A and B are shown apart, each in its own frame.
Chain A
């Protein structure tokens, strides 16, 4: 029943994606939806102009964003340290696809652990061997991981990115329900209103 799928674009280097993960799961559970995580590696330079050339306004925005995320994390008892550099999170994001291929339980454990460890500064999402370790910790059989990262996973991730761009996605987290986009955890209330309108209030 594809109509009952909520799609969620996410990237491990996004603190807002980290903070929206559990509320999105709760929402999907509440409405009996399957939550389909789609890894989308953000191209930070085009997302918030080039690191070296960021305008004064964008620096204020970046500073605010981490303060904003930290206070939201604090409210929920989560640890969230800002990364010291801009990571290439593509290997960890492809790892999510590999984890999903091994079942929902593996996918959820991997998703939780990678986010938590990255925002404790305890995980390098660009390191394929570190990703293999995280997959193994989540219960995955990692024998196929190197080949997946170089081949099928890489292609699947590229296809997801291209499809996201075609749909108008420009950042994460973005949730897609029946072709309508909801960007950011702070639009989950609107998504919920839409779900109630489309599916009725949950029991």
Chain B
């Protein structure tokens, strides 16, 4: 069997959500298995010491990203509700690990992404994430306890692995060690795989 394509993603990334169908199609068309690798995207806000130039730059960038996501979503017939504050996606990522173990990652990812970008789900709401696991076929009554006991170590390991792979953004696909960041690199990856 051909080596898997690694797919690094964070549920708070709208670009990962919008690339999801294209990534799945790539897996189907290439015959390569997809290895989903949830990880926590570090999008720390500007430090308090940032100067006015950096703040203005950041504001322009965020305004553009919101517009860009909205028009990409519209192309897929979707509406997107972007969070107004920084998001803690760690419980949702830990749910992703559980869904992987249970073999229902696709269903879980659809539930979580769709609900989050419709403004109906908080990614840090452990009870709501447990409901998503149940809704995707992986009920886990001990999920809250699992998050408390094992969450930090699991997330740290994922971050370490992402760093080792050179991953910094979501979604990032890795084919035989080569990185492809963003849904707009799927076409290049298709050329690489001749599909």
Asked if B182 is at the interface (CB within 8 A of a chain A CB), the reply is: yes
Within 8 A of A (CB), among B62-86: 63-64, 67-68, 71-72, 75
Q: What DSSP secondary structure best describes chain A's contact surface?
A: helix
List the A residue with the shortest CB-CB distance to B52: A46
Do A186 and B182 contact each other (CB < 8 Å), given the known contacts A60-B167, A61-B168?
Answer: yes
Contact code string B162-195 (vs A, CB < 8 Å = 1, else 0)? 0100111100000000010110110010000000
Residues of B within 8 A of A71 (CB): 188
Asked if A57 is at the interface (CB within 8 A of a chain B CB), the reply is: yes
Asked if A87 is at the interface (CB within 8 A of a chain B CB), the reply is: no
Q: Do the beta carbons of B57 and A60 come within 8 Å of each other?
A: no
Size of the chain B interface, CB-CB below 8 angstroms: 26
Residues of B within 8 A of A165 (CB): 56, 60
Asked if A67 is at the interface (CB within 8 A of a chain B CB), the reply is: yes
Residues of B within 8 A of A63 (CB): 166
Contact of B61 among A49, A56, A64, A170 (CB under 8 A): A170
Residues of A within 8 A of B63 (CB): 168
Do A60 and B168 contact each other (CB < 8 Å), given the known contacts A170-B57, A186-B184?
Answer: yes
Asked if A43 is at the interface (CB within 8 A of a chain B CB), the reply is: yes
Q: Do the beta carbons of A170 and B64 come within 8 Å of each other?
A: yes
Q: Do the beta carbons of A64 and B166 come within 8 Å of each other?
A: yes
Residues of A within 8 A of B101 (CB): none
Asked if B1 is at the interface (CB within 8 A of a chain A CB), the reply is: no
A68-B168 Cα distance, complex, nearest whole Å: 14
List the A residue with the shortest CB-CB distance to B43: A57
Residues of B within 8 A of A35 (CB): none
Asked if B25 is at the interface (CB within 8 A of a chain A CB), the reply is: no
Total A-B Cβ pairs within 8 A:
55
Asked if B53 is at the interface (CB within 8 A of a chain A CB), the reply is: yes
Asked if B42 is at the interface (CB within 8 A of a chain A CB), the reply is: yes
Size of the chain A interface, CB-CB below 8 angstroms: 28
Q: Do the beta carbons of B54 and A46 come within 8 Å of each other?
A: yes
A39-B185 Cα distance, complex, nearest whole Å: 27
Asked if A190 is at the interface (CB within 8 A of a chain B CB), the reply is: yes
Q: Do the beta carbons of B68 and A168 come within 8 Å of each other?
A: no
List the B residue with the shortest CB-CB distance to A62: B168
Contact code string A57-81 (vs B, CB < 8 Å = 1, else 0)? 1101101100110011000000000
Residues of A within 8 A of B51 (CB): 46
Give 4 closest A-B pairs by Cβ, nearest first. A186-B184, A170-B60, A60-B168, A170-B61
Can you sample 26 A-B contacts with CB below 8 Å? Answer: A43-B53, A46-B53, A55-B42, A57-B42, A60-B166, A63-B166, A64-B168, A64-B181, A67-B179, A68-B179, A68-B181, A71-B188, A72-B188, A168-B60, A170-B57, A170-B60, A171-B61, A183-B64, A184-B184, A186-B182, A186-B184, A187-B68, A190-B71, A190-B72, A190-B75, A193-B75
Known: A60-B163, A168-B64. 19 other contacts (CB 8 A): A43-B57, A46-B53, A57-B168, A61-B168, A64-B168, A64-B179, A68-B179, A68-B181, A72-B188, A165-B56, A170-B57, A170-B60, A181-B64, A181-B67, A184-B184, A186-B185, A187-B68, A187-B184, A190-B71
B residues near A (Cβ < 8 Å) are 42, 51, 53-54, 56-57, 60-61, 63-64, 67-68, 71-72, 75, 163, 166-169, 179, 181-182, 184-185, 188
